[in-house]
Structure 1
Amino acid sequence: MPALPSWLTEPLWDQFAALLPQRPVYAPTHPLGCHRTRISDRIIFDKLLQLLRFGCSYEALADTTCSATTIRNRRDEWIRLGVFARLRHIALEAYDRIVGLVLDQVAIDGSITKAPGGGEAAGRSPVDRGKQGLKRSGMTDGYGIPLGRVLAGANCHDSPLLAPTLDLLDGLGPLPDDITVNLDAGYDSGRTRITLDERGLRGRIAHRGEKAPVQATGRWHVERTHAWQNAFHRLARCYERRIDVINAFFDLTDAVITVRSLVRRAWTTHRWDDRPTRRP
């Protein structure tokens, strides 16, 4: 069963493959040059998409094409090369060039998910009876395109994560002169306002004790993006212990979300050879 439709998988793989270095089929150091051939990168890429989407274990994905150890080793190799982060950055640049990021409206919010295996970014969850949990402080543009995230333990409050999350704006290139940051009532404090003022940002913060639907401001975009990310079960229930692996899976997820939104929004305004026959 494919993890993603072909109209989404193929452009992701084409760009991903362009970022990979050339590798010989046989290791040149082998004395006879006739040992087992290197497993295709495309096979490993599809396995990682299945792992990300379905949340199963590496051993459950292992078959005659590759082993669980091969998947892990190739994953770590790609992390060292920075391929996942570059793929997310390229997808974001393509979206900004074709559709345009809405950077004058930014939304930030935290989301807690389960982390049964613990690890470097896990902590006692206040909403899950003290079990191990992972918090991400995510930032999106005004439409909900993910711009980055900061990982922390589930016992970390949203407010201290605001400053490092806002620092991610520096890597997005030229920014509008007037940026509004939409925040929920968890950020309603003097410290938050000082953090925004130091960066020349305007804050739209929900007030504590006052009922306000999430649709009343731009906060609902980041809530929707959290739901999109949690649809990838490897993130909703994270068994990874290393923070670089978790960030790699988030980078891959953000690239999928960005390319999917790009195809959907460009379907009515652009034409290309492998364009889906109907709006996805």
Structure 2
Amino acid sequence: MPALPSWLTEPLWDQFATLLPVRPVYDPAHPLGCHRRRVSDRIVFDKLLQVLRFGCSYQAIADSTCSATTIRGRRDEWIRLGAFAQLREIVLNAYDRIVGLVLEQIAIDGSITKAAGGGEAAGRSPVDRGKRGMKRSAMTDGYGIPLDRVLAGANCHDSPLLAPTLDLLNDLGPLPDDITVHLDAGHDSAKTRSVLDERGLRGQIAHKGEKAPLQATQRWHVERTHAWQNAFHRLARCYKRRLHVINAFFDLADAVITVRSLIRRAWTTHRWNNRPIRRP
């Protein structure tokens, strides 16, 4: 069962394949000069997409074409190469060239999910009876395209995560002169305003004690992005313990979200050979 439609996986794989080194079909170091054929990278890539989308274990998704050990080993190899982070960066740059990132309006918000396996990004969740959970401080542009995130334990407040999240803007290259950062009432403090002033940013912060509809801003874009990310069950209920593995799955999910938004927004303005028949 495919995890994603072909019009979405094909452009992702075409770009991801260019980031991988060329490997021989057979291991040249084998003493007998022959061995089992190397499992295709495309098969492993599709398996990782299924793990990300359905949240299943490697053992559950393994079959005669690829074992669970191969999936984990190839995943770690690609993480060491930085392939997932490069894919997210390339997709983000492509979206910026074709559609354009709305960097004048930035939204940042935290979201708590389950982290049943514990690990480096887990802590006692204040909304789940003290069970282990993970918080992500996500940053999006004005449309909701995920720019980056900072991961921490669920017991970490949003305010300390704001500064490291804003520092990720430096990786986006040239920025507009006037940037407005939309934040919820959890950031309504003098410390938050000081952090924004130090970076020359303007803050649109909800005030504590006031009803949300009276102060509705563009912060809903990041809330929608949280919902997009939580649709990937591997992120909504994380069993991974190592931070670099969790970030790799987030990079892959963000690449899927960005390509999907790119195809959807370019469907009415651009034509290409494998363009979906209907607007996705």
Q: TM-score, normalised by structure 2?
A: 0.99
Q: 2:7 — aligned with what?
A: 7
The 8 Å contact of residues 214 and 220 in structure 1, kept in 2 or not, is answered as no
Separation (CA, whole Å) in 2 of partners of 1:239 and 1:212: 34
* 2:158 maps to 1:123: no
Aligned to 1:139: 139
Q: What residue identity is the alignment partner of 1:45?
A: F
CA distance in 2, matches of 1:154, 1:83: 28
Identify unmatched segments of 5+ residues in structure 1.
Answer: none
The secondary structure found in structure 2 opposite 1:170 is: helix
Number of positions where the alignment pairs a residue of Structure 1 with one of Structure 2: 280
* Cα shift at 1:60: 0.1
Report if aligned partners of 1:91, 1:258 keep a CA contact under 8 Å in 2.
yes
Q: Is the 8 A contact 1:84 1:252 kept in 2?
A: yes
Which residue pairs with 1:40 in the alignment?
40
Counterpart Cα distance in 1 of 2:237 and 2:111 = 12
* Segments of 4+ moved more than 4 angstroms: none
Aligned counterparts of 1:76 and 1:22: Cα–Cα separation in 2: 17
1:156 match? 156
Structure 1 position 31 matched with structure 2 position 31: yes
- Kindly provide the amino acid, as one letter, of the partner of residue 56 in structure 1: C
Distance 1:62 1:95 in 2: 33
The answer to whether the Cα contact below 8 Å between 2:206 and 2:215 also exists between their aligned partners in 1 is no
Q: CA deviation at 1:223?
A: 0.2
Equivalent residues of 2:107, 2:140 under 8 A apart: yes
Task: State the match for 1:179 in structure 2.
Answer: 179
Structure 2 vs 1, CA of residues 270 and 173 (structure 1 numbering), >3 Å: closer, same or farther?
same
AA partner of residue 84 (structure 1): F
What is the alpha-carbon distance in structure 1 between the residues aligned to residue 192 and residue 245 of structure 2? Answer: 30
In 2, the alpha carbon distance for the partners of 1:216 and 1:97 equals 30
8 Å Cα contact 2:26/2:35 also seen in 1: yes
Query: Is structure 2 residue 63 aligned with structure 1 residue 76?
Result: no
Contact 2:109 2:183 (C-alpha < 8 Å) held by counterparts? yes
Contact 1:3 1:53 (8 Å CA) reproduced: yes
Separation in structure 1 between the aligned mates of residue 243 and residue 214 of structure 2, nearest angstrom: 30
Residue 207 of structure 1: how far off its partner (Å): 0.2
1:213 CA drift (Å): 2.7
Which residue identity does 2:203 align to in structure 1? G
Report the residue type matching 1:46 in the other structure: D
CA apart distance, 1:32: 1.9
Write out per-residue CA displacement over residues 185-204 of structure 1, whole angstroms, 9 at most, x where no aligned residue: 00000000000000000000
> Helix, strand or coil for the counterpart of 2:196?
helix
* Residue 258 of structure 1 pairs with residue 255 of structure 2: no
* Cα deviations by residue, 1:79-118 (Å, 9 ceiling, x for unpaired): 0000000000000000000000000000000000000110
Match of 1:57 in 2: 57
Q: Report the AA paired with residue 51 of structure 2.
A: L
Task: Provide TM-score, normalisation by structure 1.
Answer: 0.99
Distance 1:17 1:28 in 2: 22
User: Which 5+ residue runs of structure 2 have no aligned equivalent?
Assistant: none
- CA displacement, residues 12-55 of structure 1 (integer Å, 9 cap, x when unaligned): 00000111000111111112221111100000000000000000
Supply the AA of the counterpart residue of 2:70: T
**Deviation for aligned residue 1:241:** 0.5
User: Aligned equivalents of 1:215 and 1:50: distance in 2?
Assistant: 40
Residues 145-182 of structure 1: per-residue CA shift (max 9 Å, x gap)? 00000000000000000000000100101100000000
| 2: CA distance, partners of 1:44 / 1:276 | 25
Q: Which amino acid aligns with 2:53?
A: R
Distance 1:191 1:63, change over 3 A: same
The 5-angstrom pairing of residues 190-201 of structure 1 reads 190-201=190-201
SS in 2 for 1:71: helix
The answer to whether the aligner puts 1:21 opposite 2:26 as a matched pair is no
